[in-house]
Structure 1
Amino acid sequence: MKGVMIQGTASNVGKSWIATGLCRLLVCHGLAIAPFKSQNMSNNSYITRNEEEIGRAQGIQAEAAFVEATVDMNPILLKPTSDQRSEVIIHGVSQAAWTGSEYRTHWYEQGKQAIKQSVQRLEQDYDALVIEGAGSPVEVNLNDRELVNMSVADLIDVPVILVADIDRGGVFASIVGTLELLSEKHRKRVKGLIINKFRGERALFESGIEWIENYTGVPVLGVLPHLEDHGIEGEDSLTVQSTSAKREKSLDIAVIHWPYLSNETDISPLTQEQDVSIRYVRSVDQLGKPDALILPGTRSTIEDYLACEEKGLTEAIRVYAERGGVIVGICGGYQILSDVMYRHEADREGVQGIGIFPLSTTFVKNKQTIRVSGHIHEASGYSPVPMSGYEIHLGRTAGSIKYPFLQLNDEPEGISLDQGRLIGTYLHDCFHNDGWRTEWLNRLRRKSGLSEQVMIDTSDRDERYERLAKHLETYLNTEKIIKMIEESAP
């Protein structure tokens, strides 16, 4: 099958971002493109139309390519539940949680077969694949059974473009070192290089490009300037960064950074508000007195709660709420705000939560993955505007809920106390709903003595994909990349 694979000299060099832009760019040049990442390790999820779970990045890339995301675009998703274990999801179905060694022993062959099946199905519907690798292709201790870098390039028989991040320094060593550690066979697969996150005068780097090409024999296909505020969601928590205030006076919104933070893309619409500053909190001394506090999702709810309790952070959250603080808990954050969390249905003792909501959460085996829509509940204290998003959770939260937050799929959902000052919900993407987000923020603005703002449209993903594609077309040798893809067919 035709295609091109984007690999990197390290994690967070821009592979996902570039693959997303290439999906839109190549579609604009007349190719029917599908994104593909054989194995993704991320706690950022995307729910397909069939309500199956894949990596968030491949869902975004499918949107950029004007196609509907499917499990074949990310046949294997690994969601870390601890430093040593990950939930294994194959073709959208959760299998079990395994250590790395167990996965390599028990799931390697099944994973390889799932990848082959997905490629065969994608080949029937698309001209070419934009394939994303993971981390570095030269993790020499793991390469004998890897399922995401050169083994996939070999399977599909496609050329590789290697991306390096110049912003972190050491770009020459990272490129040369990666190429040197590749086998001769795989070194020949690398047909081009991209230098990403460049700052400064391009003319001063011309001699560097010449040196790289002469030393490695691989052409530099482009030098991409560092692009601020591109609006493309990151693949995982490596891309989480605090955003500085864009005005002298701004709302201070704190976000708890759990050890196993998941779906932090829920926060991204807030970063587009000009008078909102987001900061991530990992300890008590970082909490301060924010205008609002968000407890986002977590892949390991009880473990993350206990880790933060040990630091005294959960008690600080409780005190913040008692003193009139504004809190939104999403998914795992909602569960942590309940009175008690039970590890399973037979658990009678449970783990005490922060206790802001008079509810209990019980964790069950079957995961809920569903797209939902509805509106703000009339008892929530907010205007009954439309709401939509998705749910991914193992917990079931129940109790006496007099004031639900939402009415979703004809059922009440979540909780809203003190006229919406304290909110708990399983709805991911709730801040992507512009009407409610604007009302919530304007309440904070009035309370803080700031001017109310009009609603901004954060649903302009298509415009962001277009801007990214134009950015790539400006700085990359698009003609050579397209030729590379056309010549890749076996």
Structure 2
Amino acid sequence: MKGVMIQGTASDVGKSLIVTALCRMFANDGVKVVPFKSQNMSNNSYVTKDGKEIGRAQGIQAEAAKIEATVWMNPILLKPRSNQDSEIVYLGKSLKTLSGRGYRDNFYEKGLAVIKKSLEHLVSEYELVVIEGAGSPVEINLKDRELVNMKVAELADVPVILVADIDRGGVFASIVGTLELLEPEERQRVAGVIINKFRGDISLFEDGIHWLEKKTGIPVLGVLPYVENHMIDGEDSLSLNNQFSSRKKGNLDVAVIHLPFVSNYSDLEPFVYEEDVSIRWVNHASEFGNPDAVIIPGTKSTINDLNTLIDKQLDILIQKHIENGGYVIGICGGYQILGEEIIDETGSDTGIRNSMVKGLGCIPGRTIFYDEKETVRATGVYHENTGLIPKGKLEGFEIHLGKTVLHQQRCSFLALDNGKEEGFYGKNGQIIGTYLHHLFHNDEWRNHWLNMIRKSKGLHCKETIYISDYKDKRYDEIADQMKAHLNFEKLINIINKWSSK
């Protein structure tokens, strides 16, 4: 197999971004390249064209590679539902929910088989595979049955490039320590090191590069700069926190309720590019303040997160916010939380059949959980009852177990192309609930919603920012920026030499 694997000394060192950049570099050179990650653990999903679910990072990497995303690029997706259990999404479809112990004991051989099958499928269709690892390859307690790092490199028989994050400190210890903990045959597979997220004068780090190469005998292929606002969706909550924490305070204060099992937080990322919008997480009642708008995002565990929200008395603050004329929007699980009640008929959300909890009562509807998950790309327009004038199609995707039934007539938000009515639109847009993930990635809608809030504050409306127009250009910019700091020719030589063994 011709390819390369990007592993990291830890989580959030930038593996996903580097794989994304490499996919665009090779694609721009005319190589038929494909991304691959054997097993992803994330509640941030991507829905493929055929309605299958994979990790969002691999969907983004496929876009960078200029190809259509498929389940073969991420055959196993683990979606945490509690501190102990995760839903297993196998080849794009929900399979079962297991504990960490149950997964290790009962799924390893099945996982190994589907990884082999996926690699064989990708090799038959593409010229080069860029593989992403997960976390660290030297988690000693997990190494004997791991499916994400050196075992995958062995199955694919590709060289490994080790990435370390200098921004968090301790870069020399993290690199040398990782290499020391690898088995001799694993260390021989490491053909290069990349140091990521560098700030400052690179000349001051040259001695460090020489020391590393002398100490390890492994070439440093590049020292990559810290990339601000790279516009590539993050894979986990670490990246999201970092992205929003650097934002300046804007005129519009949007509070996002930080649910313990938040999912598809990429719904929020377009706000990063609205200069007058401040997005902030709210974990506790003391942090709620007096926002202009509240967003309740999706969650992988709706009832558990609703109970947490109530325990923190955030429900009272959200209800008062609405009473005082504030805007609120719930997406997927957030939509369910805003309703009158939630019934877990089959135990698919809580594990307890026919459990029932009261919602916030802000939307006149009830949600019932069934076993069958709905995963589909969706398009539509504003429902005629909203009074909004359609400006083209709204696009997004749905991933949910529950179905919400409204008790009022003529209050739907969207009219979907499949003929269904979707969501809730109340009080002239002050309260909205929807299952449509990536709603705010629709530039015209995002601008309309923000302008409603601006008007309510006596602020001037703003023109639409079309971020979708230059996202593809951003792939090229990031690839060029990283290529300028990477010995790309040496990387190609490593790949070619390894594959010709």
Q: What TM-score do the two structures reach when normalised by structure 2?
A: 0.96
Displacement of 1:30 = 2.2
Give the AA of the match of 1:303: N
Matches within 5 A, 1:80-95: 80-95=80-95
Map of 2:211 onto structure 1: 211
Describe how 1:125-274 pairs up with structure 2 within 5 A: 125-241=125-241, 243=244, 249-274=250-275
Q: 1:411 aligns with which of 414, 420, 423?
A: 420
CA-CA distance at 1:471 after TM superposition: 1.1
Give CA-to-partner distance per residue, 1:86-110, whole Å, 9 cap, x none.
0011111211100111111111100
Question: Does residue 1:429 correspond to 2:438, yes or no?
Answer: yes
Is 1:450 the counterpart of 2:459? The answer is yes
- Residue 488 of structure 1 and its aligned partner are, at CA, apart by 2.8
Deviation at 1:340, TM superposition (A): 0.4
Q: CA deviation at 1:226?
A: 0.8
Question: Would you say the 8 A contact 1:6–1:161 is kept in 2?
Answer: yes
8 A Cα contact 1:345 1:362, kept in partner? no
Partner amino acid, structure 1, of 2:52: E
Counterpart in the other structure of 1:360: 366
- Deviation string, structure 1 residues 421-452 (Cα, Å, up to 9, x no partner): 10000000100111111111111112223221
Deviations 1:237-293 (A, max 9, x none): 121126368677521111111100100000011111111111011111111111111
Deviations 1:402-426 (A, max 9, x none): 2111111222100011011100000
Q: Tell me, yes or no, if structure 1 residue 378 matches structure 2 residue 387.
A: no
Aligned to 2:339: 338
Trace 1:53-72 onto structure 2 (pairs within 5 A): 53-72=53-72
Query: Match of 1:49, SS?
Result: coil
Task: Kindly indicate whether the alpha-carbon contact (under 8 Å) linking 1:361 and 1:397 is maintained by their aligned counterparts in 2.
Answer: yes
SS at match of 2:364: strand
Q: Partner residue of 1:397?
A: 404
CA distance in 2, matches of 1:197, 1:238: 15
Contact residue 344 and residue 354 of structure 2 kept, 8 A: no
The residue identity in structure 2 corresponding to 1:106 is N
Q: Distance in 1 between matches of 2:66 and 2:354?
A: 49
| Alpha-carbon contact 2:85-2:100 (below 8 Å) kept | yes
User: What is the alpha-carbon distance in structure 1 between the residues aligned to residue 36 and residue 250 of structure 2?
Assistant: 43
2:350 aligned residue: none
How far apart are the structure 1 equivalents of 2:321 and 2:148?
A: 44
Instruction: Specify the alignment match of 1:476 in structure 2.
Output: 486
Structure 1's 442 and 74: CA in aligned 2 closer, same or farther, altered over 3 A? same
Are the counterparts in 1 of residues 34 and 129 from structure 2 also a CA contact under 8 Å?
yes
Identity %: 53
Once the two structures are superposed, residues 56-114 of structure 1 have per-residue CA deviations (whole angstroms, 9 ceiling, x without a partner) of 00000000000110000001000000011000111112111001111111111001000
CA distance in 2, matches of 1:488, 1:404: 57
Moved more, 314-323 or 180-189: 314-323
Q: Structure 1 residue 313: deviation in Å?
A: 1.3
Partner of 2:23: 23
- Which has the larger displacement, 12-21 or 436-445? 436-445
Return the alpha-carbon distance in structure 1 between the equivalents of residues 246 and 211 of structure 2. Answer: 40
Question: Counterpart in 2 of 1:462?
Answer: 472
Q: Does the CA-based 8 Å contact 2:263-2:297 persist in structure 1?
A: yes
1:383 to partner: Cα distance: 2.6
> How far apart are the structure 2 equivalents of 1:237 and 1:149?
21
SS at match of 1:235: coil
Q: Is the 8 A contact 1:245 1:275 kept in 2?
A: no
Q: How does 1:78-117 map to 2 (within 5 A)?
A: 78-117=78-117
Instruction: Encode CA deviations 1:183-206: one digit per residue, 9 max, x unaligned.
Output: 010001111111111111111111
In the TM superposition, 1:300-315 aligns within 5 A as 300-315=301-316
Distance in 2, matches of 1:298 and 1:348, equals 20
Report how far residue 382 of structure 1 moved.
2.9
Distance 2:247 2:11 in 1: 28
Gaps of 5+ in 1: none
Pick closer, same or farther for the CA change 1:246–1:45 going to 2, 3 Å. closer
CA distance in 2, matches of 1:146, 1:351: 38
SS at match of 2:428: coil
Q: In structure 2, what residue type is equivalent to 1:171?
A: V
Deviation of 1:217 after TM superposition, in Å, equals 0.8
Aligned partners of 2:55, 2:413: CA distance in 1, in Å? 28
Q: SS in structure 2 opposite 1:379? A: helix
Assess, with a 3 A threshold, how the Cα gap between structure 1 residues 245 and 77 changes in structure 2: closer, same or farther: closer
- 1:334-389: per-residue Cα shift (whole Å, max 9, x none)? 00001000111596561011110111001110100001111111212433232111
The separation in 1 between residues aligned to 2:238 and 2:245, in whole angstroms, is: 18
Query: Contact 1:245–1:276 (CA<8 Å) still a contact in 2?
Result: no
The residue that corresponds to 1:9 in the other structure is 9
SS of match in other structure, 1:487 = helix
Q: Which segment drifts farther, 133-142 or 85-94? A: 85-94
Q: Which residue of 2 aligns with 1:276?
A: 277
For 1:442, give the aligned amino acid: N
Q: Matched residues in 2 for 1:344 and 1:299: separation?
A: 17
Return the letter of the residue paired with 1:436: W
What is the number of residues matched between the two proteins? 490
Bigger drift between 311-320 and 435-444 goes to: 311-320
Inter-partner Cα distance in structure 2 for 1:60 and 1:475? 22
How far, CA to CA, are the matches of 1:91 and 1:444 in structure 2? 41
3-state SS in 2 of match to 1:335: helix
Provide the aligned C-alpha RMSD in A.
Answer: 1.4
Worse-superposed segment, 257-266 or 404-413: 404-413
8 Å Cα contact 1:340/1:360 also seen in 2: yes
Distance 1:247 1:69 in 2: 35
Matched letter for residue 397 of structure 1: T
**2:356: which partner in 1?**
350
Contact 2:247 2:272 in 1 (8 A): no
